Amino acid sequence: MLRSRSSAGGAIGCAVAYVLAGAGYRDIQVVEQGELAGATSGQAAGLVGQVRATRERCLLAMSSVATYSRIERETGYPADWRQTGSVRIATRAERVAEFEALAATARSAGLEVEFLSPARLAELCPMLDTASAMAALWCPTDGYLQPNSLVTAYARAARDRGVTFATHTTVTGLSLARGAVTGIRTDRRAVATDMVINAAGPWAGAVARLAGQDLPVVPVRHEYFVTGAVAGWNPGLPALRIPDLRLYVRAEGPGILCGGWEPDGLSLDPRQVAIGQELAVSPDWDVLSGFAADFASLAPAVTQAEVRTAFRGFPAFSPDRRFIVGPVPGLRGFVMAGACNAHGVSGSAGLAQHVLESLQPDPSPYVQSLSPRRFLPRTWDWDSARDQAKQVYQSYYSLAPRRSARDR
Ligand SMILES: Cc1cc2nc3c(=O)[nH]c(=O)nc-3n(C[C@H](O)[C@H](O)[C@H](O)COP(=O)(O)OP(=O)(O)OC[C@H]3O[C@@H](n4cnc5c(N)ncnc54)[C@H](O)[C@@H]3O)c2cc1C
């Protein structure tokens, strides 16, 4: 019988617990220092996009969407998934070529996408002034969900499969013997276990340090704002991505949710992130009003809207744009499930499957490519790793030729 401890209770930890329990793993406990979904996952915008630059990433997103479409039917717990479709809008000629490449990759993965005529774009997005749109790529099966609902659904469904939860419990140490994990220590007690899954989000580097491992999990600030009601907006509208403006947008009820990727991001030094440290950040209204000003070129009403609130946090990034998933070589039972590069809610279902696959004897080459092995032993330096991870954030919507398409 495998006893495992999953740290911790965000989208990834709960998805992993749900998936491993479904695969027959027993005696799983999720150990969470706060409340479930109380950290990064609860701040996410909940956008779920399947159009990606590589086939593997499309497939991961597609399998996640398949889960969100059936999770309520299968478990009885809703993720508040809305399959509104999404529209990706190009306002520059260079971007159109990128969309064509994205569409080809999507189709190679079996994902339905289509370029919209101006008339169809106006019909699907009546709340936008689409005069500047040079191309619009439509993915009818995309959508968005409520991250808190998704985490709650995973957790309840996992509980039904026998998983237990220890909230308000911080993992403070790991017991290791003869190259293997033998237990965890928390601020409440010590527990024997032969597997620890490190799904600690922006704290995953600190948890890895408890195991004596240096892994470049870099927290980078991200934020968006939500407005009050705006005429013409409703929850059934498609989600929008406007890479030339570095923005994503969707309706939140009758209001607008608008977030973006800053050209000059704010990262934390992973070496300074301590176990149990609060990673609070205030909204940066200069940045957020910049998002609003940019989006006003397509939706002038946004600048008049009352901003209701701002969500923010420190999603974890890796220096090479790839997730860090799988067993840590040389330390039996210590498994990474992190560095989600801001896909940790949308991709949680697929990522949990990757974690499961990584524990099997013969994972696919793609899953192997996510292994923490590539960073161990440490030959890289912390400052460069932090800088590269920040670049991953900053170039999220940059045109492909300026960066590797691998794993975007
Ligand atoms: C503003 C914003 C918008 C975003 N929008 C999207 C989006 O639209 N779509 C998308 O896919 N992603 C989005 N993201 C990214 C997404 O939120 C993350 O990728 C995802 O939440 C990562 O999940 P996680 O479970 O790895 O991390 P977390 O949700 O941070 O969970 C990690 C958990 O580990 C716990 N923990 C840490 N250390 C310990 C310890 N020592 N002991 C016990 N527990 C511990 C923490 O308390 C936390 O609950 C967004 C992020 C932000 C900030």
Q: How many angstroms is it from 216 CA to the middle of ligand 1?
A: 16
**pLDDT for the residue 403:** 46
**pLDDT for the residue 402:** 44
Q: How many angstroms is it from 376 CA to the middle of ligand 1?
A: 24
Query: Which pair of tokens denotes residue 161?
Result: 């499969």
| Atom of ligand 1 minimally distant from the CA of 341 | 19
Mutate to test the pocket of ligand 1, among 170, 279, 345, 348 (most ligand atoms within 8 A of CB): 345
Three-state SS for the chain is CCCEEEECCCHHHHHHHHHHHHCCCCCEEEECCCCCCCCHHHHCCCEECCCCCCHHHHHHHHHHHHHHHHHHHHHCCCCCCECCCEEEEECCHHHHHHHHHHHHHHHHCCCCCEECCHHHHHHHCCCCCCCCCCEEEEECCCEECCHHHHHHHHHHHHHHCCCEEECCCCEEEEEEECCEEEEEEECCCEEECCEEEECCHHHHHHHHHHCCCCCCCEEECEEEEEECCCCCCCCCCCEEEEHHHCEEEEEECCEEEEEECCCCCCECCHHHCCCCCCCCCCCCHHHHHHHHHHHCCCCHHHHCCCEEEEEEECCEECCCCCCEEEECCCCECEEEEECCCCCCCCCHHHHHHHHHHHCCCCCCHHHHHCCHHHHCCCCCCHHHHHHHHHHHHHCCCCCHHHCCCCCC
> For ligand 1, is residue 43 a contact (CB within 6 Å)?
yes
Q: Are 344 and 315 in contact (CB under 8 A)?
A: yes
Q: How many angstroms is it from 159 CA to the middle of ligand 1?
A: 20
Q: How many angstroms is it from 40 CA to the middle of ligand 1?
A: 3
> For ligand 1, is residue 224 a contact (CB within 6 Å)?
yes
Mutate to test the pocket of ligand 1, among 33, 35, 40, 165 (most ligand atoms within 8 A of CB): 40
> For ligand 1, is residue 203 a contact (CB within 6 Å)?
yes
**pLDDT for the residue 5:** 63
Q: How many angstroms is it from 115 CA to the middle of ligand 1?
A: 33
**Rounded distance between C-alpha atoms, residue 280 and residue 282, angstroms:** 7
CA distances from 349 to 10, 12, 13, 17, 361 (A): 12, 8, 11, 11, 21
Mean pLDDT by 10 residues, the chain (408 residues): 64 97 96 97 98 96 97 96 98 95 98 98 97 97 98 98 96 97 96 96 98 98 98 98 98 98 96 96 96 96 95 98 97 97 97 97 97 97 98 90 49
> What is the pTM (predicted TM-score) of this model?
0.96
Q: Parallel, antiparallel, or unpaired for β 114-115 and 143-144? A: unpaired
> For ligand 1, is residue 249 a contact (CB within 6 Å)?
no
**Rounded distance between C-alpha atoms, residue 399 and residue 122, angstroms:** 25
Mutate to test the pocket of ligand 1, among 7, 12, 41, 174 (most ligand atoms within 8 A of CB): 41
285 φ, ψ (degrees, to nearest 5): -70, -25
**pLDDT for the residue 407:** 54
> For ligand 1, is residue 343 a contact (CB within 6 Å)?
yes
**Rounded distance between C-alpha atoms, residue 20 and residue 247, angstroms:** 35
Q: How many angstroms is it from 154 CA to the middle of ligand 1?
A: 14
**pLDDT for the residue 8:** 81
% the chain with pLDDT above 90:
95
> For ligand 1, is residue 275 a contact (CB within 6 Å)?
yes
**Rounded distance between C-alpha atoms, residue 140 and residue 53, angstroms:** 18
| Atom of ligand 1 minimally distant from the CA of 340 | 19
